[in-house]
Structure 1
């Protein structure tokens, strides 16, 4: 096994980095790399992004949202979270086995005084609390195994960023499972910062494998291709939101001028159908507003751009553009 260095904190770049290495590095070697993201929510391949995140909170805190190529639930990353990626070769049609491939991580954590264990299908826990969520993907004769290690993450932000009112969304996307989580820094034998933890963890992994700590150097061509993948896929709305499974959105609110009930059908992140009901008073037919919003990205700025060209009062009575946007996006009761 060899290690690959990645010093980037850009979530879009780092997910592109991971996929590119997974699918393009030589098959005659296995690889491991450790990396740290700036604040980001990483959603599973088969999840509905809108269903997993508190969009308003994410916007306010400038938290990036990125889809990964593996399944499983949404996770929160920040500068206090360390990610590990292991690329291994497989033989035949092996099933995804989380226990064997993650033993080096468990053994490395033991040397820090962290007695973690594999819990359930794909979590690492300490004292019954989750410190790591692990996911895997298969490509040809290789498996990508990656996970988080909550070292010193801001758990208050984690809980708010992934806190969504589920009653307004009907979706076939894979749902995240809520778990009690904890950081491992308080359990460490010696208090060190995450950068030092990252360096020592890598050394412990290779000690357990009884292999020399040898680096695989990426070429300029590799780096150019990673940049390209980042720009054309991971830093796009189409991948991070548009790839979501189809879903429906519904919301209702009473205003002084009357009640409004909206129903949306979203397909590939686009408003495929919209119906607006209520006892509001408008001077224009609300079907004109519905037609205006059909085939629009289900994204706040896109819709704002559309409704800024009309007077919303003419259709829905005495409400503002912000009132209408809250109906389409707000998770509040």
Structure 2
């Protein structure tokens, strides 16, 4: 595995562009590891409605970045006390949604540092009943990103201030506040370390059993391409905020795979526009299902017919098709 040096960049727009550039453009014969620390920012899951996830007045007044990532899952808060890791590997269908596979080496290092860490729930790393990390995945079909965020010394009060957490998510966790169920890794460390020192220990631990350890620094030409991707995509309002449709039917429900929120615009009995949001994880773009449903009559049998050849699990994980169809029609 090759460690990619991000040169200490803390701009979340640029770090997410770098991550996507690596998965799409770097040598497909190699695996890569990327670390980055972001300035205060909210990182939105690919399938979420930004305006419903953030406290816009607060983030405007506190100069907090809002950037959408390419992977699914929920919105997360980053700041200088938050270390983000990303494994870029070949796509393997057996590893999609297999968060245990790529969190194991991170958990192993945390255990070596004295933390009783373990993967629990869908995609969270916990110490006891406290969440210290969330993870997500993205696949191009050939290559994949498995990435996560480690709360090392984050301002946890800002998590509550900057995010709008939906009541259904709070209820599903059985807690009354976000702050009560998250914690910083530094709280469990026997000796105080800076986040830079923690980063070095984590890196050393991840490569402790690897003889072919390499560090790669991008060329000027590669950095130029990353900056172009940042400007075209990650700086754009359309990417970060633009997916907010008109609708006259709206349903949301929490499934085992995550929360689904559908907005449907029906005209003369047919679906004219449909958008599906949520913190679910899927291999394929949910826009494909949306396009299939457009022009279909808005009734259960017609929707079932439109989706008869669709592998729902490719878009949402282990979600039953019949359950999904019931959800679309409010049953």
Q: Same-fold call, TM > 0.5?
A: yes
Deviation at 1:148, TM superposition (A): 0.5
- The equivalent of 1:153 in structure 2 is 154
- The equivalent of 1:10 in structure 2 is 11
Deviation at 1:111, TM superposition (A): 1.8
Alpha-carbon distance between aligned partners in 2 of 1:131 and 1:62, rounded to the nearest angstrom: 25
Contact 1:40 1:77 in 2 (8 A): yes
Q: Give the number of aligned pairs.
A: 245
Deviation at 1:218, TM superposition (A): 1.6
- The equivalent of 1:38 in structure 2 is 39
Deviation at 1:197, TM superposition (A): 0.7
Deviation at 1:163, TM superposition (A): 2.9
Query: Are residues 110 and 227 of structure 1, via their aligned partners in 2, closer, same or farther at CA, if it must alter by over 3 Å?
Result: same
- The equivalent of 1:107 in structure 2 is 108
SS at match of 1:215: strand
Structure 1, residues 193-216: CA drift from partner, whole Å, max 9, x if none? 001111121111011x43343112
- The equivalent of 2:144 in structure 1 is 143
- The equivalent of 2:268 in structure 1 is none
5 Å-filtered alignment, 1:207-218, equals 207=208, 209-218=209-218
Deviation at 1:131, TM superposition (A): 0.7
Alpha-carbon distance between aligned partners in 2 of 1:211 and 1:198, rounded to the nearest angstrom: 20
SS at match of 2:57: helix
Contact 1:13 1:234 in 2 (8 A): yes
Gaps in structure 1 of 5+ consecutive residues: 168-175, 249-264, 273-333
- The equivalent of 1:219 in structure 2 is 219
- The equivalent of 1:56 in structure 2 is 57
Deviation at 1:266, TM superposition (A): 12
SS at match of 2:214: coil
5 Å-filtered alignment, 1:43-122, equals 43-91=44-92, 95-122=96-123
Give TM-score, length-normalised by structure 2. Answer: 0.69
- The equivalent of 1:238 in structure 2 is 238
Deviation at 1:93, TM superposition (A): 6.6
Query: Are residues 143 and 245 of structure 1, via their aligned partners in 2, closer, same or farther at CA, if it must alter by over 3 Å?
Result: farther
Runs of 4 or more above 4 Å deviation: 91-94, 164-167, 176-179, 244-248
User: In the alignment, does 2:155 pair up with 1:133?
Assistant: no
Structure 1, residues 212-254: CA drift from partner, whole Å, max 9, x if none? 4311232222111000011111011111000345568xxxxxx
Alpha-carbon distance between aligned partners in 2 of 1:206 and 1:130, rounded to the nearest angstrom: 25
Contact 1:203 1:213 in 2 (8 A): no
Give TM-score, length-normalised by structure 1. Answer: 0.68
